[in-house]
Amino acid sequence: MEKTNTDFKISDPLIAAMFETGAHYGYSKSRRHPSVGSYIFGVKNRVEIFDLEKTKDALAKAIEFVSGLSAARKVILFASSKVEAKESIRKAAEEAGLPYVASRWVGGTLTNFTQIKSRVERLINLRNQKQKGELSKYTKKEQLMIDREIARMEALFSGLVTLKEVPAALFIIDPKEETTAVSEAARLGIPVVALTGSDCDISKIDYPIPANDSARASVAFFVGEIARAYAEGKKLNNQQPILRQAQDPEFNRGTIENK
């Protein structure tokens, strides 16, 4: 008999909120990655259902980590190329004053940051020249080519303008889709927080949040929670215990044991 967590009244407000967004929906059992097994409650209409009690616990650990980063004045980079996540990622990151990638992840964004930074500086320079009317000295054809270059660079790098150094952590939607970003973070020892669907390998993620990573409402909910955690962390700047923990080298590698 199929089990499902949809047959009883939900008393926990957070779990109820997640349920309303469809966060409990995974994929079919055939698509499930073995690492996610302990987070699956049951099956309904051939679709696996996440145990939202466990999702809640995972979210709490991610929130604690993100809040600590913020309290220590460290930067987290939001990233996702998924259509369902782009707007949520962009809006939340901009409101929090954080860098983001809401398009294709450019290889080397972390591991070749110096080169990426030079591209961002090129974008900023061209923006300024255009705003000041300095591009008028070029021919119409040259201006057209420059406009096209600006458009391409805006799509790839506009969210990185505020990123002055390699971020302290990444927040990713669907690490299965962002394998390059996860790989680069691993090479540099940068911890990753991620919303992970049932087809993701969460063993490679420091702070996985197993839940629906495809529905816009679910994605927006978790992006909002992480962004809110970062905003709340800013209020803790004067709490020395948190600062000491966040400044610990082990904390930055995501290796401190979650309690």
Question: Residue 232 sits in a domain of what CATH number?
Answer: 3.40.50.10490
Residues 162, 124: contact at Cβ < 8 Å?
no
Both tokens assigned to 182: 């996860």
d(CA 77, CA 96) in angstroms, rounded, equals 11
Q: What are phi and psi of 85, to 5 degrees?
A: -110, -20
Structural domain that includes position 143 = 114-160
Tell me: do 68 and 90 sit in the same domain.
yes
List the structure tokens of 127: 């923006």
Is residue 248 one of the residues assigned to a domain?
yes
Q: Residue 154's domain is classified under what CATH number?
A: 1.10.287
Q: What is the pLDDT of residue 175?
A: 96
Judgement on whether residues 102 and 174 belong to the same structural domain of the protein: yes
| Number of domains, the chain | 2
pLDDT digits 0-9 by tens, 108-152: 999 999 999 999 999 999 989 888 888 888 888 988 999 899 999
- Shared domain for 174 and 135, answered yes or no, is no
Q: Are residues 140 and 186 in the same domain?
A: no
State mean pLDDT over 228-255. Answer: 62
The confidence band for 1, taking pLDDT boundaries of 50, 70 and 90, is very low
Q: Does 82 share its domain with 184?
A: yes
Q: Give residue 181's pLDDT.
A: 97
Q: 181 and 241 share a domain?
A: yes
Residue 36 lies in a domain: no
pLDDT at 3 over 50: no
Mean of all residue pLDDT scores within the chain = 88
Measured distance CA(248)–CA(60) in Å, rounded:
20
Q: Is residue 39 one of the residues assigned to a domain?
A: no
Are 246 and 195 in the same domain?
Answer: yes
Average pLDDT over residues 191-206: 97
Shared domain for 215 and 146, answered yes or no, is no
Same domain, 98 and 63: yes
**45 within domain boundaries:** no
- Predicted confidence at residue 237, as pLDDT, reads 64
pLDDT at 239: 57
- Residue 248: the pLDDT is 56
177 with 102, same domain: the answer is yes
- Based on the fold, state whether residues 196 and 93 are members of the same structural domain: yes
pLDDT (tens digit per residue) in 24-56: 999 999 999 999 999 999 999 899 999 999 999
What is the bridge-based pairing of β-strands 40-44 and 47-50?
antiparallel
Domain annotation covers residue 23: no
- Please check the confidence at residue 228 and state whether its pLDDT lies above 60: yes
Q: Are the C-beta atoms of 205 and 61 separated by less than 8 Å?
A: no
For residues 126 and 244, membership in a common domain is answered with no
What pLDDT is stored for residue 138 in this prediction?
86
Residue at 81: amino acid letter: S
Write the DSSP symbol of residue 158: G
For residues 155-177, average pLDDT: 96
**What would the two tokens of residue 5 be?**
């967590």
Cβ burial of 246 (10 Å; 0-12, 13-18, 19+) is: buried
In a domain, 28, yes or no: no
Percent of the chain with pLDDT over 90: 76
pLDDT in tens, 7-19: 456 789 999 999 9
